[in-house]
Amino acid sequence: MKTEKLDINSLVRDNIAGLKPYSSAKSEFKDFKKDLIFLDANENPYDNGMNRYPDPDQTDLKEVLSKIKGISTNNILFGNGSDEILDMIFRVFCEPKRDNIIINVPTFGMYKVLADVNDIKYKSVLLTDEFQLDKESIIRQVDQNTKLIFICSPNNPTGNLIKKEDILNLLAKLNKVIFVIDEAYIDFSGADSWLNEVNNFNNLIVTQTLSKAYGMAGLRLGICYAQSEIIDVLKKIKMPYNVNVLSQKKAIFELVKDIGLKEELEQIIANKEILKNELLSIPFVQKIYPSDSNFLLAKVDDADKRYQQLLQEQIVVRNRTSEPLCENCLRFTIGTKEETKELIKALKTIN
Ligand SMILES: *Cc1c(COP(=O)(O)O)cnc(C)c1O
């Protein structure tokens, strides 16, 4: 199924549609065949591996990722973490003080923060009791100024995947609104990525990151997949050197190497099972929610109290009790086997 052609420029802010992006010599002469002497960017000429500005198009990294993910380099954009990509999406599509977005709560806190930073109104639609989309409410909330709908799948902090048919249904029905599917945790889930659908749905943006399953949160590399027209407008506002030389090199190295990741994922999922089973026997744990991610959300008798007690045991978890539908819920990231053991020991100690 392919949605009807969507005029992306009609959704883009006027100032962005008319924007002429910054151009660097690095991009202009990228395909030049002969060796060039670069005396254009006021760099220090003495080579230390770092003296030149990074490739603004991240060409080599895109090619590596393109092969791994089976998608054209024209459908890929990198950011300094997915946080930067999300911010770019706001700045391209949302006119401050006029436009609005929809978030499905409880969810990742950054969408709200970015809406506030960009002076964009957000409408919160509560997930169902099973932490799935409330489609009717979403449809009701959409108005002519609704530009973006954020769907986090697997969702943070609830941990579950969002049903594919619900998303398909909304994508087709609300075809003048851009859907941003945040797949920060997709590699823990075993589900297919929505990136395979970006050329079937013109209104779809998928974000991923090397911060979680790939074990490179310190690298700051976020990935955006979308049809090329969307990628092209995002490129217009991308800071030319947003992904530094070290990050590009390290990401290529790790992605090409691609060993160890599978074992780490299996270990994390095994540790999750161990923790889940142990949590079941802790008297103050009332409920453990299904998880397709690398964390567990659990309802306890008194989240504030248990949070503080764990802290006394030198273990920091995330207290989500003030989030909607998450009263008295703690979120446990799955650590190493040893860390999991320590957590279980602490949970058994406190009472
Ligand atoms: C951790 C997380 C991210 C990662 O953001 P980066 O900036 O790429 O590190 C994105 N979305 C969600 C929902 C997350 O939980």
Average pLDDT, the chain: 95
Residues 6+ apart with CB under 8 A from 197: 204, 206
**CB-CB neighbours of 59 under 10 Å:** 14
pLDDT of residue 21: 83
* Nearest by Cα to 288 from 158, 183, 108: 158
CA distance 189 to 163: 13
**8-253 is classed CATH 3.30.365.10:** no
CA distance 68 to 243: 20
**CB-CB neighbours of 241 under 10 Å:** 14
Mean pLDDT of 225-242: 97
Pocket of ligand 1 (CB under 6 A): 81-83, 108, 152, 156, 182, 184, 209, 211-212, 217, 222
- Joined together, the tokens standing for residue 91 give 């700045």
Pocket test for ligand 1, best of 110, 206, 334 (most atoms within 8 A of CB): 110
pLDDT of residue 288: 98
pLDDT of residue 4: 63
Mean pLDDT of 277-284: 97
Atom number of ligand 1 nearest to Cα 211:
9
pLDDT of residue 27: 76
Ordered by start, the domain boundaries in the chain are 8-253, 261-349
- Residues 288-312: pLDDT tens digits? 999 999 999 999 999 999 999 999 9
Q: Which residues of 77-100 are buried (b: 16+ CB within 10 A; e: fewer)?
A: bbbbbbbbbbbbbbbbbbbeeebb
155 burial (CB, 10 Å; 0-12 / 13-18 / 19+) is buried
Pocket test for ligand 1, best of 108, 111, 333 (most atoms within 8 A of CB): 108
Mean pLDDT of 188-209: 97
pLDDT of residue 306: 98
CA distance 327 to 332: 15
Q: How confident is the model at residue 351 (pLDDT cuts 50, 70, 90)?
A: confident
- State yes or no: pLDDT of 102 exceeds 90: yes
CA distance 291 to 319: 17
Enumerate the H helices of 142-227 as residue ranges. 164-173
With beta carbons less than 8 A apart as the criterion, state whether 237 and 19 touch. Answer: yes
What CATH number was assigned to the domain covering residues 261-349? Answer: 3.90.1150.10
Query: Alpha-carbon Rg of the chain, whole angstroms?
Result: 22
Pocket test for ligand 1, best of 210, 211, 323 (most atoms within 8 A of CB): 211
pLDDT of residue 33: 76
- State yes or no: pLDDT of 1 exceeds 70: no
* Nearest by Cα to 91 from 243, 239, 220: 239
* Nearest by Cα to 58 from 232, 252, 206, 228: 252
- Residues 25-62: pLDDT tens digits? 777 787 777 889 999 999 999 999 999 999 999 999 99
- State yes or no: pLDDT of 130 exceeds 90: yes
Q: How confident is the model at residue 259 (pLDDT cuts 50, 70, 90)?
A: low
Sign of CA dihedral 6, 11, 16, 17: positive
Which residue in the block uniquely carries the two structure tokens 């594919």? 164
Residue closest via CA to ligand 1's atom 13 equals 108
pLDDT of residue 2: 55
pTM (two decimals): 0.96
